[in-house]
Each structure stands twice: as C-alpha cells, then as structure tokens.
Structure 1
Amino acid sequence: MRILIWHVHGAWTTAFVHGRHDYLLPTTPDRGPDGRGRPPTCEWPAAAREVSPESLADEEVDVVLLQRPHEVELAEQWLGGRRPGRDVPAVYLEHDTPAGNVPDTRHPMAGGDVPIVHVTGFNDLLWDCGGTPTTVIEHGIVDPGRRYTGDIERAAVVVNDPVRRGRSVGADLIPELAEGVGADVFGARVEHLPAYRGLRTYESLSQRDLHDHLPRRRVYVDLNRWTSLGISLIEAMYLGMPIVALATTETPLAVPSEAGFVTTRRDQIVPAVRYLMKDPDVAEQAGRIGRRHAKRRYGLDRFLADWHDVLHTVVAGAAP
C-alpha cells in the first residue's frame, strides 16, 4: 500500500513508517511544516520516501493519512485534483486533546466522509466528532531497549516549546521541580525557559542522543496537564525509568501506580521524585514494572497491525 503522509509528529511517525507499506513524505526545499520530509534526527527505513509536491500528481496513492485540517485542500492540490475521501481513500489521525469549549468542542472533520483515528480513548471521548466514524489506535514504540542507570541524581522532563504552551504542559511547575531536586529539561525551544535555580536545558537532541541521556537521570517527570499522551513518556518507560506524572488525560491508564507515582496533587510531585532519588533500588524496580507494562500495551507489532487493519478497511471500502 502506498500512503501519503506528512511528517508532523516525528516520534509517532517513526513507529508508523516501520510498517509493511510504502510511505510518501512531501518534501519542500525549505522543509517547512508542509514539507519536512525525513528528519535528520530519527532513523527511518528506506520505505519512507521523500517526494516533491510537483511529483505527487503522477504518484499512485492508495490512501492519504491526514493529520491537520488544511491537508485536505493541500492533498487535492498536489494530487492533481484528487480529493481525499472522495477520489482517494483517506483517514484523519487526531493526535491532540480538544482545545476549545471542552467537552463540547466540535472536531474539524466532524460530519465528513473521512473516518477519524484517535491516539487515546480519552481523546475519542472528549472530541465531538458528530456521526463521523471513529476508532482508537494507541501509540506503538520502536523498542530502544532497557538502558536505565539513574546515575545522575536529577529529574528528566521532555517538553517542546514550554514557554509558549505554558500551563498545558506544566511549564509553571518546572521552577519548583528544578529548585527542589534539580531538573534537566529536553526538547525544542527549551532554551527560552528562564534560568531557574537547579535547571539545565538540552535543546533538540537527536532521538538516539535523547535515548542515551534520559535513562541516566534518576526519575522521569511528566508535567502535562492537558495534552494528548506524550510518546516521550512511553519511551521513558521503555527505557526502564521510574515515572512521576500528573494523573491527567490518558496518563492514569498509561502508567501503573507501581511504576512510580501518578498524582493530581502538585505538592506531591517533588516529594515523590525525592523519594525515588533516595532509594535507587525502589526506582529501578519501578522502572522495570513500567517497562513491562509499556511493552505489553504499546508494542510496535500491535500498533502496526491495528493501522494495517484500518487502512485496509478504508481502501477496500472505497474500491469500485
């Protein structure tokens, strides 16, 4: 199957392009948001192929995987007038929680002919998709292996653009964490954070480097209040790290209590991290439990099989 897909979320796409299909990635000279192509910081198989927008009109495309509303018009333009959901089968993947008048936020693809796939059951529950068919395919992870050492007695946080995104990603909780136990924050545009005492930032590491750095920290801390389930959280469990996380959105189902601490109390975050820091044996055991859970729930084979079934059903349903 030949799938047209934009590189929108690198970590999610890394898992997706490990399937059995061919993946066409629009690539523009400026590698902007609509033409990023293959990322230099991730290892993708050769089946993920860069294509120019100009060449797409002549490409045989079996299905379009949409991830942003404007891609419907973009695909029609680049595919020579073939409209997703009408002239070529399409699926819309929703990565995020609704951001409007929750729980009454209407999904931008609601009422259309393109089925919607959500990455968590929580997202499916919260979005108003009208009568549009929906399904849930939870994340899958390319196993980086258990690498946890915890030899650096600091907390690790992964977040992109924390200053702009603010409270939704828990940016206001970082100062207390940094001052209380020391925090190393990894991600894009983290250098914009103020110079809090106890804070160190690591800007836009490659996936390989991130997987080397993270498991050396004693504890992984997830501060997201209102975002979809972060793949970095699941990767941290795969790496064997103990977790301290806010009990929001899908996280209580993703992180078993035995894998660390999941709480809605902001005054419990630092004490929970401090407890795991003071007892490396407890931290290591929590990380092992988290890794076993993550491998069972977020395995790559299950993820790819679920996506194969959905795409096959959409394509078969569109056949004359």
Structure 2
Amino acid sequence: MRILLWHVHGSWTTAFVQGPHTYLVPVTPDRGPDGLGRARTFDWPESVVELTPAQLREAEVDLVVLQRPHEAELAARWLGRRPGVEVPAVYLEHNAPDGPAPATRHPAADARGLTVVHVTHFNRLMWDCGARPTMVIEHGVVDPGPLWTGRLRRAAVVVNEPLRRGRWTGTDLLPYFCEAAPLDVFGMGTEGIAAELGVAAERCSGRELVQRDLHREMAERRVYLHPVRWTSLGLSLLEAMHMGMPVVALATTEATEAVPARAGVVSNRLEVLHDAVRGFMAEPERARQAGAAARAAALARYGLPRFLDDWERLIKEVTR
C-alpha cells in the first residue's frame, strides 16, 4: 500500500510510519509547511519516501491521510485526483476544537467520501462532524524504554511555543509550580521563558532539544508536569509515561482517561497538584512506583502494536 500524508506532526507520524506500507511525504524546495519531507530530528524508516508535487502527479497512491483543511484541495491539485472521490482518503484530526467546543463544525463535516479519524474520544465528542462517519484510533508511541532515573529534583514540562500560546498551555501557571520544584521547560520557543514569566532563571529554564536528546533529559527529572488546559492529548505526556515518569497533570480534555490514579496525580485543584509535585520531589521511592505504574498503563493502552493494528483495519476497510 502506498499512503500519502504530509509531515505535520513529527511524533505521531513517527509511530504511523512504523507500519508495513510505503509512506509518501511531499517535499518542496523551501521545505515549508506543505513540503517538509522526511523528518530530520526523528528516526523514520526507509519506507518513508519524499516526492515532489511533480512526482506525485505520476505516483501510484492507494490512500491519502489528510490532516489539515487545505490538504484536500492540495492533494487534488498535486495528484490530479480528488481525495475521498477518486482516491480513498481519511481525515485525521489531531486537535480538540479551537472555537466553542460543543458547536464547532469540523472542516471535513461536509466532505464527500471521508471518514474523520480522531486521536481521542474527547475530540470525537467535542467536534461536530455532521453526517460524516467518525471513529477513534488512540495514539501509539514508539517505546523509548524505561529511561527514568529521577536523578534531578526538578520537574519536566514539554510544550512548544508556551509564551505565544499562553493560557492554552498553562504557561501562566508555571510561576506557581516553580514554588513546588524547579521546572525545565522543553520545546520550541522556550528560550528566555524565565525572564518573560518574571521568575528566577534557576527556578525555570527553557531548552529546545532534538527528540533523541529530549527523552534522555526528561528522564533525569523527578516528575513530569502537564499544566496544559486545552489540548488533544500531548504525545510528550504519553512518552513520559512510557519512560516510567510519574505524572502530575491538569484533569482536562483526555488526561483523566490517559493517566490512572496509581500513575500520578490528576486534578483541577492547583493546590493538590502543587503538593503532588512537592511530594514526588521529597519521596523518590513513591515517584519510582508511580512511574512504573505509568509505564505499564501506557504500554497497555498506547503501545505501538495496538495503534498499528487499529490503523491496518481502517486502511483495509477504506481501500477495499
């Protein structure tokens, strides 16, 4: 099977391309958002093949995985075939709706021939997809292994563009959590975050790392803090659980489903979360036990084999 998809979400795509197919990713001279090509900071197999728009015009494509509203028109123009009409297609929705959640119409709600695939049950509940068939294929993660050491009495936070995204990612909560433990915030756009938040640099650092270095650095922190108010389900949270990190998270969107009680503390009471971070700092054995439970839960629910099997069933259904 030859599957066309754009390189939009590096972590999700890394899991998806572990399947048995050939994966075609568009590449353009500027390697812009519509033509990033192969990942440079993730390990992708040789089955991921870059093709230019001109090459796609002549390419055999069995399935298109759309991920952004404009990709249907882009695929029709580059392939010369309409997704969902002249070539099988699904629309993969990574995100929770940005607008008034219960009433936000999905961009594919009126599209012909498309199944909308959500990555969480929360997203499926919140998006208005009209009469379109919908389903959920929960995330899968390439297991980084039980890397957690908890050597450093610091908390890891992973979020891209925290200053720009502000309250969405819980950036305004970070000064409060800095009082419970020093924070290391990993992700794009995190440099200088301490000064922007008005906290001491030793209480809050920002670093941007490639994936292979990020996991090692995260695992040395005592706890993973997930302060995000509104997101789909952060793959960094699931990766932290796979590594055996205890989790402290806001009880928003899908977090309550993903993190069982024994794996950490999930609450919307900030004082409870603050105390949980402090508790894990003071009790490394408790942190180890919670992290072991987090890893077991993540492997059971978000393991790569289940993810690939779910996608394989859908691919066979929509391409038969």
TM-score, normalised via structure 2 length: 0.96
After superposing the two structures, state which structure 1 stretch, 87-96 or 173-182, moved more.
Answer: 173-182
Letter of the 1:141 partner, please give it: V
In the TM superposition, residue 269 of structure 1 has moved relative to its aligned partner by 2.1
Match of residue 91 from structure 1 = 90
**Is residue 64 of structure 1 aligned with residue 69 of structure 2?**
no
In the TM superposition, residue 131 of structure 1 has moved relative to its aligned partner by 0.7
Instruction: Report 1:297-308 matches (<5 A).
Output: 297-308=301-312
- Identity within the alignment, %: 57
In the TM superposition, residue 194 of structure 1 has moved relative to its aligned partner by 4.1
* Matched position secondary structure for 1:180: coil
Contact 2:183-2:204 within 8 A present in 1 as well: yes
Contact 1:7-1:38 within 8 A present in 2 as well: yes
Moved over 3 A (4+): none
After superposing the two structures, state which structure 1 stretch, 184-193 or 277-286, moved more.
Answer: 184-193
CA distance in structure 2 between the partners assigned to 1:88 and 1:160 by the alignment: 34
CA distance in structure 2 between the partners assigned to 1:173 and 1:188 by the alignment: 18
Match of residue 111 from structure 1 = 110
Pick aligned residue for 1:254 from 234, 241, 258? 258
**Is residue 227 of structure 1 aligned with residue 222 of structure 2?**
no
Match of residue 313 from structure 1 = 317
Contact 1:179-1:199 within 8 A present in 2 as well: no
Instruction: Report 1:138-177 matches (<5 A).
Output: 138-177=138-177
**Is residue 200 of structure 1 aligned with residue 205 of structure 2?**
yes
CA distance in structure 2 between the partners assigned to 1:159 and 1:147 by the alignment: 20
* Matched position secondary structure for 1:124: helix
In the TM superposition, residue 53 of structure 1 has moved relative to its aligned partner by 1.3
Match of residue 249 from structure 2 = 245
* Matched position secondary structure for 1:181: coil
CA distance in structure 2 between the partners assigned to 1:301 and 1:88 by the alignment: 27
Letter of the 2:175 partner, please give it: P
Contact 2:222-2:287 within 8 A present in 1 as well: yes
Letter of the 1:253 partner, please give it: E
After superposing the two structures, state which structure 1 stretch, 24-33 or 60-69, moved more.
Answer: 24-33
CA distance in structure 2 between the partners assigned to 1:99 and 1:115 by the alignment: 21
Match of residue 4 from structure 1 = 4
**Is residue 265 of structure 1 aligned with residue 269 of structure 2?**
yes
Match of residue 289 from structure 1 = 293
CA distance in structure 2 between the partners assigned to 1:305 and 1:77 by the alignment: 31
**Is residue 76 of structure 1 aligned with residue 76 of structure 2?**
yes
String of CA shifts for 1:104-138, please: whole Å, max 9, x gaps: 11101002221100000000001000110000000
In the TM superposition, residue 192 of structure 1 has moved relative to its aligned partner by 5.1
Match of residue 32 from structure 1 = 32
Match of residue 217 from structure 1 = 221
Contact 2:122-2:254 within 8 A present in 1 as well: yes
CA distance in structure 2 between the partners assigned to 1:26 and 1:55 by the alignment: 9
Letter of the 2:101 partner, please give it: V
Contact 1:75-1:82 within 8 A present in 2 as well: yes
CA distance in structure 2 between the partners assigned to 1:39 and 1:187 by the alignment: 16
Contact 1:161-1:187 within 8 A present in 2 as well: yes
CA distance in structure 2 between the partners assigned to 1:299 and 1:194 by the alignment: 35
Contact 1:163-1:192 within 8 A present in 2 as well: no
* Matched position secondary structure for 1:83: coil
* Matched position secondary structure for 1:103: helix
Aligned length: 314
* Matched position secondary structure for 1:190: coil
Instruction: Report 1:43-62 matches (<5 A).
Output: 43-62=43-62
String of CA shifts for 1:77-98, please: whole Å, max 9, x gaps: 111x211011111000000001
